[in-house]
Each structure stands twice: as structure tokens, then as C-alpha cells.
Amino acid sequence: MRLGNLLSGLNGAASDAFDTMSAEQNITGFAIDHRKVAPGTIFGAFKGAQFNGEDFIDEAVKNGAAAIVASPAARVTGAVHIAAETRAPNLPGSPHNFSVLSLM
């Protein structure tokens, strides 16, 4: 699936948020471990009990991440930043609520 197709429903303006080259990138997977990121992966930079995934954004981009899901305050360079507010759990055992996503 292409990144542009995947993100087209976010706030109704995904096509305006990033360039055509990014929109055409093929998405190959999703990872929350920066060491498992390969070209075309979306990296979830979430804060865990022991590590903050935002500390590994640069490494994920170096490994080929096409997009980074992270807090709005995170600094993302070299990949599309998908801002996610983390609020009350929406799934049992999940610390994240992905109902509020936007492109930065």
C-alpha cells in the first residue's frame, strides 16, 4: 500500500501535508522497535515503561522509515511525521489512543 493512500483519511488533508514522492512510497510494514525498521516501514515511536521510542527516531529514519508515528512535539526529519496524541486507553492494556492523528 502507498503511504498517500494509507494516510488519505487523516483530517481530510493528507495530500497537502507531504510531497508527492512521500505519498508514492510503498509501505512495507509497521515496527515499534527501531532495529526492525527497514525501507518503507512506519515506525511507532511510543513511550514505554523502560524506553521512549522518540529517542530512536533518527535511527529509524536512517534504517529507512517512511513515516514516524509520534507525539506532536517530537522532532522528525527525513520522514513523514504522523502526530498521535496519547490519551486514555482505547484498547485493554494499550496506553495509546490513536483516534487523534494528524500529519505534521
Average pLDDT over residues 13-31: 72
The confidence score (pLDDT) of residue 24 equals 84
* Interatomic CA distance for residues 3 and 39, integer angstroms: 12
Average pLDDT across the chain, whole number: 78
Helix (H) or strand (E) holding 83: strand 80-84
- Segment 28-43, tens digit of pLDDT: 999 999 999 999 999 9
Task: Please report the domains of the chain, with CATH numbers, ordered by start residue.
Answer: 27-103 (3.40.1390.10)
Higher pLDDT, 98 or 69: 69
Confidence of residue 7 (pLDDT cuts 50, 70, 90): confident
